[in-house]
Amino acid sequence: MSQDSQHGKWTISDSEDEDNIIPPTPQKDSNKPSIKPDLERKPDTVTTFFKQERKLSPKRNEDTHSVKEPSAPSMGSEARKAAHVNQTLPVKYESHPSPSVKRKRETEEAGWNLSSSDDETPPPAPKKEPKKSDVSPKKKKTEDKRPPSPHGTSYYKEEPADFFETNLLSMNDMYRFYLNKVTGIPKKFNTGALHIKDILSPMFGTLKESVQFNYCFDIPWMVEQYPPEFRKMMLLWYEEGFRVIILTSNLIRADWYQKTQGMWMSPLYPRLPEGSPGTAGESPTNFKSDLLEYLEAYRAPELAEWIDRIKQHDLSETRVYLIGSTPGRYQGPAMEKWGHLRLRKLLSEHTKPVLNEERWHVLGQFSSIGSMGLDKTKWLAAEFQRTLTTLGKARKSLTSPETQMLLVYPSVENVRTSLEGYPAGGSLPYSIQTAQKQLWLHSYFHGWHADVTGRSNAMPHIKTYMRVSPDYTQLAWFLVTSANLSKAAWGALEKNNTQIMVRSYELGVLYLPSAFNMSTFPVEKNVFPASSSSKGFPVPFDLPPQHYSSKDQPWIWNIPYTQAPDTHGNIWVPS
């Protein structure tokens, strides 16, 4: 159906979830060459194990507890996949734009051919009779190399040697929460942040093998990030032990260049003595058994060796809790193993009520948004808010004032003025089809401002959730995760709240003050340059967040923005 709105007239699909939206095919200035990002070439001689994430097909029997996985792994949601594999392209701003042409998609290495249906099989090419010719044979066409950025081949610059960390002196190992390095911001805001090259460097150990779980891989670029002596085989196995990295970035160059990302890096876990019992090496947060359960949920034979390795190591120094999502429908005790009910359980068991609790804000920050329903009572302000407002086992009375929920998501102006310009919006896949069905949600939105970390112009791909005091100086808890604001990621209750359905794999870590012998976390006011002696928690953006102005609109990736050019002189014209 069609409807008019503040965004113009748009056709609304029947999809009830962001994951089913077909990504936009943008238009390109006819005078400019098409850009074909090379993001998914198969590994050649690299022996690192790359595990692609999968999502649950929506067609499932609601009465079944166990769910059969799809036979072939997918890249996760269509929106996430498209944000990287099918990056939308900018158009140069002109006072009198020239006619634009549609970009073709081909399934082959040279480009893309996009049919009207994803399942449509192209007709076979007619056979041609060979004919003789006196004309000398044409030279073999040189295969186009896909530029790695919508801005062209010269956009990415090689970072100087002093861009990377040379020692661990500035690293704060209290929380072990780090932001990524961002190209194009002052050096002090990168001191103590990590690039993937830092993570894989000898500073952290003599790397022997690794396994990477992610949605998108650029294998040639990824291999270049390993030190030459470590390009063999992000579980990281060292001669000295084993380490876990849980991060929000894909393994492609764009995600590590000018976006805001976050990660948790574990301590180096030593090997247990021979003959240790199976329960040895567990942490007070139950991290070891939770990690093993998450890996076993993949049902991937390739992971068996890694599961055995983890069992042989001492993870007792871990002070965070694992929050995972795995596809399926769960009932009974299994409901609390995954998604937002897992978070609710931990907040109930390991936190305590605080004074004037209702005045402590719930804050969510994310880079994509799914379908929330016709109004806030369908999911967001019902089951999800109940989870995020849980503090201890105390039950709220029906007369308790409602806790304020603040949602941080980039505005159009945030994206336009970012380091990447409009192409940054290719990783913020909120569609007009979904947005038009939940205009009520936009009243919750606050812009992306991160002066405290020097990243106001580095659009977020990080996802964080927290409970913050009325004066924004204390945290009751903090979560960094891959889970965006969607029912697919967090799960949704079904069958009169006796069953929860989760549709995607997600992973994050939860920081609770009790695990650090603290009552709350103080918010760090001076995040950079990082200091090893700091006790404050490094929230990656400014507090309090700034509510959208009357002129602000949330970034929607499949509508045009032509009124003003971005920082690179481009406009945004998807089709």
Residues annotated within the binding site for substrate are: 232, 463
Q: Which two tokens stand for residue 176?
A: 């072990």
Catalytic residue among 84, 195, 446, 461: 461
Q: How far apart are CA 154 and CA 148, in angstroms?
A: 9
Q: How far apart are CA 466 and CA 462, in angstroms?
A: 13
Q: Are 75 and 215 in contact (CB under 8 A)?
A: yes
Q: Are 554 and 445 in contact (CB under 8 A)?
A: yes
Question: 60: which residues sit within 8 A by CB, 6+ positions away?
Answer: 67, 329, 501
Distances (CA, A) of 332 to 60, 289, 390: 19, 20, 20
547 annotated active-site: no
Tell me which residue of 558, 407, 547 sits closest to 484, measured CA to CA. Answer: 407
Task: Map residue 381 onto helix, strand or coil.
Answer: helix
- Residue 157 half-sphere exposure, CB side, CA atoms within 13 Å? 8
Strands 242-247 and 262-265: antiparallel
Tell me which residue of 338, 359, 342, 353 sits closest to 390, measured CA to CA. Answer: 353
Q: Are 172 and 530 in contact (CB under 8 A)?
A: yes
Using CB atoms within 10 A of its CB, is residue 292 exposed (0-12), middle (13-18) or buried (19+)?
middle
Tell me which residue of 546, 71, 515, 524 sits closest to 287, measured CA to CA. Answer: 515
Q: How far apart are CA 23 and CA 429, in angstroms?
A: 8
- Residue 430 half-sphere exposure, CB side, CA atoms within 13 Å? 29
Question: 163: which residues sit within 8 A by CB, 6+ positions away?
Answer: 181, 183, 190, 195
Q: Is the dihedral of CA 526, 321, 289, 74 positive or negative?
A: negative
Torsion of CA 215, 461, 477, 244, to 10 degrees: 40
DSSP code of residue 162: G
Question: 295: which residues sit within 8 A by CB, 6+ positions away?
Answer: 303, 306, 307, 310
Tell me which residue of 43, 331, 89, 1 sits closest to 214, measured CA to CA. Answer: 43
Distances (CA, A) of 173 to 196, 242, 355, 521, 561: 17, 16, 30, 15, 43
Q: How far apart are CA 22 and CA 13, in angstroms?
A: 10
CA 187 to chain centre: 25
Q: Are 323 and 508 in contact (CB under 8 A)?
A: yes
Q: Which two tokens stand for residue 534?
A: 């700091």
Q: How far apart are CA 322 and CA 341, in angstroms?
A: 13
Task: Map residue 542 onto helix, strand or coil.
Answer: coil
Strands 405-408 and 445-446: parallel
Catalytically active residues are: 461
